């Protein structure tokens, strides 16, 4: 029997043409920022890092860059297949002089498969593609296999944040993460999922309010 590759959980890879100045910056900087093929050892990427975080689908990179600027002691790995988003992230990294960010410009599942068990302390999944039509729900990133993979790469006590402005996706994510024995939902009261966490950085996508509900923030702890 032939194994089938996982369904692509993201839409288009490029929208508008990248401006020449930004394209030149990507050409100059992305090779040094890109995570190279093969097994990924966060300690080898940044020996002085106290821990490693992962942002899945970083969009334009503003949240990732802000978190990296706040915590220069932390190595932040970012995965994003959207070409324009990668170009935007490279610009943010260059403008802020960040030295603690590494990028995977492709499907995050290619990256997580190369990470060892317990490699990261935090995971951010902020406003992933909602695939709102019922027939497309199977393309959503958060599926049982992905939840299991995230449990594998998160260290005990690590934290994962999922945010969405689509009510049924938030419900689906909550159901799948709490069904996995490794994850516990950290919420104690309604404001814990209704109010942005203190360390949250609002993204451009979030400001557009394209979903069908106010943003929902779900924080989970790895047991």
Residues annotated as catalytic are: 129
Of residues 211, 223, 83, 81, the one with CA closest to residue 159: 223
Angstrom distance (rounded) from CA 58 to CA 66: 12
How many helices, marked H, and strands, marked E, lie in the chain? 9, 7
Structure tokens at 64: 């990732």
Structure tokens at 106: 């492709």
Quote the radius of gyration of the chain (alpha carbons, Å): 17
Angstrom distance (rounded) from CA 207 to CA 177: 26
Q: How many C-beta neighbours within 10 Å does residue 96 have?
A: 13
Handedness of CA 120, 215, 213, 128 (dihedral sign): negative
Angstrom distance (rounded) from CA 58 to CA 78: 6
Chain-centroid distance of CA 97 in Å reads 21
């Amino acid at each position: 029997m032939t194994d089938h590759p996982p369904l692509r959980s993201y839409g288009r890879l490029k929208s508008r043409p990248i401006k020449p100045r930004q394209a030149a910056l990507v050409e100059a900087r992305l090779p040094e920022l890109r995570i190279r093929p093969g097994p990924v050892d966060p300690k080898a990427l940044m020996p002085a890092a106290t821990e490693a975080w992962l942002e899945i689908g970083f969009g334009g990179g503003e949240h990732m860059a802000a978190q990296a600027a706040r915590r220069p002691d932390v190595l932040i790995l970012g995965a994003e297949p959207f070409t324009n988003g990668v170009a935007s992230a490279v610009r943010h990294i260059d403008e802020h002089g960040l030295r603690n960010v590494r990028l995977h410009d492709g499907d995050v599942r290619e990256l997580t498969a190369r990470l060892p068990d317990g490699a990261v302390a935090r995971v951010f999944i902020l406003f992933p593609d909602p695939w709102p039509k019922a027939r497309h729900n199977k393309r959503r990133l958060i599926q049982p296999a992905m939840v299991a993979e995230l449990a594998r790469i998160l260290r005990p006590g690590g934290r994962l944040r999922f945010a969405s402005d689509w009510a049924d996706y938030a419900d689906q994510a909550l159901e799948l993460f709490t069904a996995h024995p490794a994850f516990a939902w950290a919420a104690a009261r309604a404001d814990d999922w209704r109010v942005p966490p203190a360390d949250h950085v609002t993204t451009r996508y979030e400001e557009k309010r394209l979903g069908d509900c106010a943003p929902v923030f779900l924080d989970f702890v790895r047991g």
